[in-house]
Amino acid sequence: MVSIGLLGFGTVGQGIYRILQDKSEELRALLGTEIEIKSILVRDLYKERKTEVPLSKLTLNPEDIVGDDDIDIIIEVTGDVDLSYRYISQAFERGKHVVTVNKAVVSAYFEELSHLAEENDVFFLYEASVAGGVPVLKPLKDHIRTNNISKVQGILNGTCNYILTRMTEEGLAYEDVLREAQNLGYAEANPSSDVEGTDTMRKLRILSTLALGASVTEDDIICDGIDSISDLDISLLREMGRKAKLIAEARLVEGGYQAIVQPKAVPVGSYFSWVNGADNSVSIVGKYSGVLGFQGPGAGMYPTANAILTDVIDCILQTQKKTSPLRGRRLENRNEDIRGNYYLRISDCDESMKIPKEYIKEIIHDKGGDFAFITEEMKLHDLLYKLAEYEDKPFSLIAMED
């Protein structure tokens, strides 16, 4: 019998419970043993839930799980950072394996938790923390053993991708689609982590640290979101044969690496232009593998729960390694050298604004106080420095993908 403690019982936690019930016979045949969820940490014992579970399995006290010597594996699906860090650390010290979906705690304590798990000879697995139901981290860990990864790139937030898809396909305004996404459960009541790019940045932190072999921290990543993109921007980009996507990217460059989350205008027909709705997609470029693509649902009860349970099965069958996959490579951050062509729209323009002519490659729109143009190729750092002069003017900045 493999005994599991479940920290959290929201949508994903209930998905895990349901799958284990539905697949109990098949899993017993596969593993040669039963899997039992012994205890579940909740905030309210008597809350009405869509998933029926015996009251005897519910607890308000995390120590009933972390401190239970009979529990072998802890699944952490709380979304908290500081408390989760404490629970995971204590679990490792007590010899328990941990599987988590919590990208915030993995991102904040990636190196520390990876090494702590190795020291205690236990598994620390987090497949579902990046791209939800898309299996990308385990294949990436396999590839870094023999392959040199030069770039990872991806659409990593289903909420943002859903919003941009609806704006593009139906010409809807950002605010209207955001409300719709909140009503459908894609976006939180406070969507700032999603739409400002923070959620995507944390996932890129995990991906890039694994892929490049160096610690790429949250502070090392330039981060922008989609909350300044308007239906006018979408319309103008569509006329140019492009779609807006929030893209996370980390790549090796001469002298180090670059890491950025930013909206990009990708050509219609290109790889990421086909990733629509709440789907996520990751592209990995390796010296020996070439370009590898992974795509699928970035969230949802069953896709995410399934990804978590594949990690649980790896713990039981010991089909991954307990040693940390992180490497101590030292690379210099070269974000100041990021350059390209950019779509820029500035609102409330007036004659007092002086945009250098050498910045402008092509004027796209100049009407009703909105001035939109494509820049010449230039450093992002220089462009942002110039835009700081117009801090009272709303603007939308989107990189032009080659």
Q: What positions carry a catalytic annotation?
A: 203
How does DSSP assign 35-64, residue by residue?
Answer: EEEEEEE-S-TT---SS---GGGEES-THH
Provide the residue type at 317 as one letter: L
DSSP three-state, residue 298: coil
Half-sphere exposure of 383 (CA within 13 A, CB side): 27
**Within 13 Å and on the Cβ side, how many CA atoms surround 169?**
12
In 136-255 the beta strands, taken as DSSP E runs, fall at: 149-155, 222-223, 242-253
58-73 burial by CB neighbour count: b if 16+ within 10 A, else e? bbeebebbbebeebbb
Say how many CA atoms lie within 13 Å of 207 toward its Cβ: 34
Evaluate whether 246 touches 380 at the Cβ level (below 8 Å): no
Residue 271 CB-density burial (10 A; 0-12 exposed, 13-18 middle, 19+ buried)? middle
State the DSSP code for 277: T
Is there a contact between 227 and 181 (Cβ–Cβ < 8 Å)? no
